Homo-oligomer: A and B are copies of this chain.
Amino acid sequence: MARPSRAVISRAPTLDDVARAAGLSSMTVSRALNTPDQVRSETVKKVLAAVKATGYIPNALAGGLASRRSKLIAVLVPHLNDPLFADTLQAMGETLSQRGYQMLLCSAGYTPQTETELVSTLMSRRPDGIMLTGIHHANDLKKIIFNASVPVVETWDITPTPIDMLVGFSHEKAGLATAEYLLGKGYRRPGLLWTTERTAAQRKNGLYEGLARHGITDAPYVESQLPARFADGRAGAAQLLETTELDVIICGSDILAQGAISELQARGLRVPQDVAVMGFGDLDFAAANVPAITTVALDRYAIGARAATLLANRIEGRSDGEQIIDIGFHLTERESA
């Protein structure tokens, strides 16, 4: 509330203000804050005192402009309310924060088109790195990234030819493993309850291939919206039950599985005795559900943490080791299938 004395225009203190207060040059203050090793420790102390006295807050806009390093990471996820990606995002945020980076976050939807538009906008922030979800991106996106030569991590899927770095796993193999597991359990009349998404589609391909190997080619299929919700699981299961007699409902996500189980139970059917249910993702509730959901477990948190680490290392010039990380998956047998 105090009016500034004299004709001093109120503005945020700058490096120069700190320098003046400390009786040093602004360059020395800059060094004292960023690379204290290069400055006499007494001088550092003086600087820190002046920073406190002036209430100085660095201007990362100016710093980024001058240094050409923004310390910003652009992160694109399909949807912020898709529980599949939430842990990954949380892990990214934690890891990046520890490494001194900040997250510029966008929900890109489930289409490469909007993703490309968003990235081209985000590039104006001159991010030091980019995190993408999935490996299916528009060519324009790749061009933009290539021209800017920004490090990129793709996540949640795997390919021998990523744009740059990658942390994920094979959805085809996960689908195949699911098919083999269920067939090994003796299920022969599966129905699919799936989402319309690229990685989910690849799981479906693997699944179909596995089923086809055992001559099952006519499994009924119901599609649900994105992000998948509990109610979609119920509705989808209901729809599948109408078509033909099933012994297992294979779901594109645990959420759908939870809903499907609920629908079956509401109809007086026992899971898995009457109809089994298979999930995907091993979300928080899967193990505690009644019955516990048999699912494909992923270390979703690790995807985020490792992707962030990969990116930070690359940015800082220490790209040790593999740049394509297969975190794998684990078919976790529980009660529902």
**How long is the Cα–Cα vector from A148 to B299 in the complex, in angstroms?**
41
A259 near B285 with CB under 8 A, answer: yes
A105 near B105 with CB under 8 A, answer: yes
Q: Digit string of A44-88 for contact with B (CB within 8 Å is 1, else 0)?
A: 000000000001011111111100001000000001110100110
What are 14 residue pairs bridging A and B, where the CB atoms are less than 8 Å apart in the complex?
Answer: A12-B148, A58-B124, A59-B65, A61-B70, A80-B93, A94-B107, A102-B122, A102-B125, A103-B104, A229-B285, A230-B284, A230-B285, A231-B287, A258-B285
A62 contacts across to B, CB distance below 8 A: 65
| Minimum distance in angstroms from A228 CB to a CB of chain B | 10
A288 is an interface residue with CB less than 8 A from chain B = yes
A55 contacts across to B, CB distance below 8 A: 147
Interface size bucket, A side? Answer: 35 or more
| Minimum distance in angstroms from A234 CB to a CB of chain B | 5
18 more A-B contacts (CB under 8 A) besides A63-B124, A230-B288? A57-B123, A59-B65, A59-B124, A59-B126, A61-B64, A61-B125, A65-B65, A80-B89, A81-B90, A102-B121, A105-B105, A230-B284, A230-B285, A230-B289, A231-B288, A234-B288, A262-B290, A265-B290
**How long is the Cα–Cα vector from A65 to B126 in the complex, in angstroms?**
14
A229 contacts across to B, CB distance below 8 A: 284-285, 288
Q: Name the prevailing secondary structure of the A interface residues.
A: helix
Task: Tell me the nearest residue of chain B to A285, going by C-beta.
Answer: B230
A residues neighboring B (CB under 8 Å): 12, 55, 57-65, 70, 79-81, 83, 86-87, 89-90, 93-94, 97, 102-107, 118, 120-126, 147-148, 229-231, 234, 258-259, 262, 265-266, 284-285, 287-290
A103 contacts across to B, CB distance below 8 A: 104-106
**How long is the Cα–Cα vector from A63 to B126 in the complex, in angstroms?**
12
Q: Which 5 A-B pairs have the closest CB atoms?
A: A230-B285, A231-B288, A81-B86, A80-B90, A105-B105
A89 contacts across to B, CB distance below 8 A: 80-81
Q: Taking A81-B87, A93-B80, A102-B106 as contacts, is the C-beta distance between A262 and B288 under 8 angstroms?
A: yes
**How long is the Cα–Cα vector from A93 to B121 in the complex, in angstroms?**
14
A107 near B81 with CB under 8 A, answer: no
A93 near B81 with CB under 8 A, answer: no
B57 near A61 with CB under 8 A, answer: no
Task: Tell me the nearest residue of chain B to A117, going by C-beta.
Answer: B97
| Minimum distance in angstroms from A33 CB to a CB of chain B | 11
